[in-house]
Structure formats: C-alpha cells, structure tokens
C-alpha cells in the first residue's frame, strides 16, 4: 500500500504503550511516541480521539509535538466516509464564505514501519490557529457534547441543567470566561425583546454567526448546532464568534456514513441561540440574503464540482491501495455523484423554503 502523492507521517510507539491505549479506547491518556514529519524526527505525544469512532478498527489520533508539546494535530481516519473528503470539503466551503475554519490535508500514516492507510490531518483550533490568521482571541471554549445547545434544558432528560456551562470546556481564558458564557446563555433564554437584541448585537458577532449558520445548513451537518463547534471571544470587539468542527456527517450522509435525505437539516437551523437570533426580522432578512447569495455563487455544482474533482485526483491512487478502509474502492469512485445529487437537491429545498418566507 502506498501513499502515492500524499505527505507521509510516521509514528513509532512501543508495543506496551500501544497495548495500553488499545486496552481502554475511551481513555484520553497520552503515550510517548516518535513522530516523523517531512523527514524530521521528534518526540511527541499521541492519544485516541473521537466519539463513537474510538471503537472502530482504524483509530483517529491527536498528536502533540514541538516545544512543551504545544503544537497539536488531529488525524482523522474518516472511517465512515466513503469519499474521505466530507470534512475537508466542508472546511474548505466555510473558508470560501469567510468563516475561519481549520485547514486540512490528506496524508498517509506509517505506524511502527507498517502502512496504516490514508488519514485527514486537521489543524487544531488553538492559539496557533488565531495567530496564523492574525485574529485576536482572549478566550476559547469548545462545545464538546449536545448539551452545548445554548438552552436551559438538558436535551436528553428535558430537565433543567445543573449548570448552564454543561457541554462546554474552557480551552483558554480567565476566571471570568466560564461566568461570562453562563451569563450569555441566561440572557439568550430571556424573551425576544429589543433589549435582548441590543445585548446580542453587543456580545455576538451576529453576521459571522449567520454565515456559520448558512454553512451548517447548506452542508447538512445535523450534529453541528448543539456540539461540534468552538466559541471564541474576539479581543477587539469582545464579541463571541463561532468556528465549525467535525463535519464528516454532511453532504448527503450522516455521521455513521448512512445516506440521508437532503432535507434532514431545517433551513432555519437549530439551538436556542439560533432561534432567538432569527426571531428578529432584520436578522432573518440578513440570513435570507446570505443564503440567497451563496446559492448564486459558492453553493453550486459549477463551483464545488471542480474542488471535489481536484481532491479526488490527489486522493485516488492512495485510496485505491488502502486496505484499512471499510468501504470498497468502487464506493469511493461512486461518491462524487452523491455530492452532486445532494448539492442540487439541497439548493432546490433551500430555494423553495426562502420563497415561502414572508419576511
């Protein structure tokens, strides 16, 4: 199996450490490894990452390396995606519509000298992410499970949450970071008055939020509204901004790789913050304009088909030889048509919905 044309990453790990990781796939404990990138070998740390995918035979990894292990990479097996490009295409699309999102590249992994298949290397959302883009960030919060719905109630129990910070994890910030988000969620759950609109305009980058919402709605990421995103506080404005994360279940397939309808995701999206933002006519009009513009420009077969074809051209030789995947090569070959069908169907659904909006 060759990673023809793709960058190669090499990991060397002791049998004892590998066995220790595999004996408890839900552990977030790291193991010391040797990492080789572009011919340069260095010390690094490795752990398993992901949700339900941790039980799969092909694992996804988080890698930490560099000074104080401060540099982070995510290697996704994309085991459920027959195309292996759904995450990559989604983040590419978000960057095209000026919603800062992780950069990606496909790579081949060697583990202890043996080929380990094709992976998607995903940039971490951390301090380095913001520095590369010259974006000021004074706090960073991950939405780690579906309790991060900006609501008062636990989505699983329908009971009031014990803490409005459930579902979130502070990655960077001060003692005030958690308190400020709890206060924000409390305000979001108040009646949709002019006072709340003023609060939202002061504490949320509404335009960026609506662009993110449009991206999530168009790509069809059902899991992206109540988890799988990051919030950061923009330094100059003090407003919350949002970054997408984990978009494998998109473009006509869910997060388990099953085909799903192009109408799976409501055009108005989900979560309490979305509901409150779209309760104001001016924000609905802005959102409608964003969607309409994207349907005319970026979210078209004409725009996206060449991007898909380019990704496929680079990936095909490596995928053909990759025996670690659960999907046959024929499924990979057939998948561009799934993308095309989804884009055409999704466009029609959103266009029809927008025609029926009164304001």
The one-digit pLDDT tens for each residue of the chain (359 residues) are: 444 589 999 999 999 999 999 999 999 999 999 999 999 999 999 999 998 899 999 999 999 999 889 999 999 999 999 999 999 999 999 999 999 999 999 999 999 999 999 999 999 999 999 999 999 999 999 999 999 999 999 999 999 999 999 999 999 998 899 999 999 999 999 999 999 999 999 999 999 999 999 999 999 999 889 999 999 999 999 999 999 999 999 999 999 999 999 999 999 999 999 999 999 999 999 999 999 999 999 999 999 999 999 999 999 999 999 999 999 999 999 999 999 999 999 999 999 999 988 76
pLDDT at 4: 56
305 dihedral zone (left: phi>0; alpha: psi -120 to 50; beta)? alpha
Residue 358 pLDDT:
73
The structure tokens listed for 49 are: 């990452």
Q: What is the pLDDT of residues 219-240, one digit of tens each?
A: 999 988 999 999 999 999 999 9
Q: Are 342 and 220 in contact (CB under 8 A)?
A: yes
According to the model, what pLDDT value does residue 175 have? 85
The confidence score (pLDDT) of residue 3 equals: 45
244 neighbors 219 (Cβ within 8 angstroms): no
N-term to C-term CA, the chain: 56
Please give the pLDDT value at position 279: 97
- State the pTM of this model: 0.95
Where does the chain show beta strands of DSSP type E?
A: 8-12, 31-37, 40-49, 60-65, 71-76, 104-111, 114-123, 137-143, 168-172, 229-234, 240-244
Domain boundary assignment for the chain: 8-77+101-123
Closest CA to 343 of 301, 298, 291: 301
Residue 336's pLDDT is what? Answer: 98
| Contact predicate 49/72, CB 8 Å | no
Q: What is the pLDDT of residue 2?
A: 45
Query: Which pLDDT value is given to residue 163?
Result: 95
Q: CA 237, 238, 244, 246 torsion: positive or negative?
A: positive
Q: What percent of the chain has pLDDT over 70?
A: 99
Residue closest to 286 by CA, chosen among 229, 342, 204, 187: 204
Dihedral over alpha carbons 298, 299, 305, 309 (to 10 degrees): 70
Predicted local confidence at residue 248, as pLDDT: 93
Task: Specify the pLDDT at position 214.
Answer: 98
The per-residue pLDDT for 359 is 66
Q: What is the pLDDT of residue 51?
A: 87
Query: What pLDDT, on a 0 to 100 scale, did the predictor assign at position 103?
Result: 98
């Amino acid at each position: 199996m060759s990673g023809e044309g793709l960058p190669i990453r090499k990991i060397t790990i002791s049998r004892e450490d590998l066995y220790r990781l595999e004996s408890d796939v839900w552990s977030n404990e790291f193991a010391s490894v040797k990492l080789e990138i572009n011919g340069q070998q260095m010390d690094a740390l490795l752990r398993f990452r992901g949700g339900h995918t941790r039980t799969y035979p092909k694992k996804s990894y988080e890698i930490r390396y560099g000074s104080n292990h401060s540099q982070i990479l995510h290697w996704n097996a994309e085991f459920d995606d027959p195309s292996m490009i759904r995450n990559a295409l989604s983040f590419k699309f978000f960057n095209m519509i000026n919603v800062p999102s992780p950069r990606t590249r496909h790579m081949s992994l060697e583990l202890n000298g043996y080929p380990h298949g094709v992976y998607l290397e995903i940039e971490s959302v951390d301090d380095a992410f913001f520095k590369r883009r010259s974006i000021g960030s004074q706090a960073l919060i991950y939405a780690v499970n579906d309790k991060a719905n900006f609501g008062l109630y636990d989505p699983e129990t329908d009971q009031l949450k014990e803490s409005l910070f459930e579902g979130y994890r502070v990655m960077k910030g001060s003692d005030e970071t958690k308190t400020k988000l709890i206060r924000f969620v409390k305000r979001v759950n108040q009646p949709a008055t002019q006072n709340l609109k003023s609060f939202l305009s002061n504490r949320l980058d509404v335009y960026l939020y609506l662009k993110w919402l449009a991206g999530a709605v168009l790509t069809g990421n059902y899991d992206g509204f109540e988890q799988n995103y990051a919030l950061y506080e923009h330094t100059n404005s003090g407003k919350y901004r949002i970054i997408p994360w984990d978009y494998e279940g998109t473009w006509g397939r869910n997060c388990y790789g099953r085909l799903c309808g192009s109408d799976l995701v409501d055009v108005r999206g989900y979560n309490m913050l979305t509901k409150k933002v779209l309760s104001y006519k001016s924000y609905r009009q802005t959102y409608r304009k964003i969607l309409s513009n994207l349907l005319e420009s970026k979210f078209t077969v004409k725009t996206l088909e060449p991007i898909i074809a380019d990704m496929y051209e680079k990936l095909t030789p490596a995928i053909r030889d990759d025996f670690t995947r659960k999907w046959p090569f024929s499924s990979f070959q057939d998948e561009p048509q799934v993308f095309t069908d989804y884009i055409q169907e999704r466009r029609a659904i959103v266009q029809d919905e927008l025609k029926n909006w009164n304001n």
